[in-house]
Amino acid sequence: MAATDIPFYQPAGDECEVFAHAWRQQLPVLIKGPTGCGKTRFVAHMAAQLGLPLFTVSCHDDLSAADLVGRHLIAGGDTRWCDGPLTQAVRAGGLCYLDEVVEARKDTTVVLHPLTDDRRMLPIERTGEVLQAPPGFMLVVSYNPGYQHVLKTLKPSTRQRFVALSFDFPRPEVECEVVRHEGGVDAELAWRLVRLGGQLRQLGGHDLDEGASTRLLVYAARLMASGMPARRACEVALAEPLSDEPDTLAALRAVIDTQFGS
């Protein structure tokens, strides 16, 4: 794969090396971190770097084991088996990424267990198949610890099947390069956005559940690069997505004015 085909990712530490070591040793990886800090981009980047097909699943409350493994479907009067994304990844020897895995139903994680130990196999009860994962297959899951709930967390018996990486928002100099590259703005404007992001994150845990993500900073940069006035871009990309409360929105706009006031 050409370098231009690899999704841009600016490393914050040794996460790329750790991930590559885990893949070579056929170990599953758990990625923990806040919304919009780069978890999904990192996985896409590493899949491309390693030359692996990527199968991504956005987990939700109704996601079941059958959604991952597959099910029988009726087409043209005939019943045929249709592989789910997890089964497709095992057959292809690719990377299966389960984003926000704690959102899925509890029976989902049970299906993962045989793939996350020395067996590296996927039993398909409906067809009687037992698939042996090839060397290239890798299972990666992620979740946001900030939104953990007593009913929505990984059991210790599941967590201890993974190598784990903790992500956070990048250091300012790293985040500035991300915003500059992805947002299409110059370094000076990128730095102003990063400083604003840091100020907004100080409100996290007080007036906000979470502060502004790197993703939102990039959105604001892209709007500015397209010609939108800076303050308005920050309002629609940073303030409005973070809260619906009038008092909180007023506080966010006041912070924005410190960097991009009219």
- 4-53 pLDDT tens trace: 579 999 999 999 999 999 999 999 999 999 888 999 999 999 999 999 99
CB 84 within 8 A of CB 71: yes
The residue extents of the domains of the chain are 3-166, 172-260
Residue 112 is predicted with a pLDDT of: 93
CB 258 within 8 A of CB 216: no
3-state secondary structure of 81: strand
- Considering only 103-117, 155-169, 180-194, 195-209, which range has the smallest mean pLDDT? 195-209
Cα 258 → chain centroid: 31
Q: What percentage of the chain has pLDDT greater than the value 70?
A: 94
Please compute Rg for the chain using Cα positions.
Answer: 21
Q: How far apart are the first and last CA of the chain?
A: 46
CATH superfamily, region 3-166: P-loop containing nucleotide triphosphate hydrolases (3.40.50.300)
CB atoms within 10 A of CB 131: 20
Alpha carbons 90 and 94: distance in angstroms, whole number: 6
Give the single-character DSSP code of 102: G
204 pLDDT band (50/70/90 cuts)? low
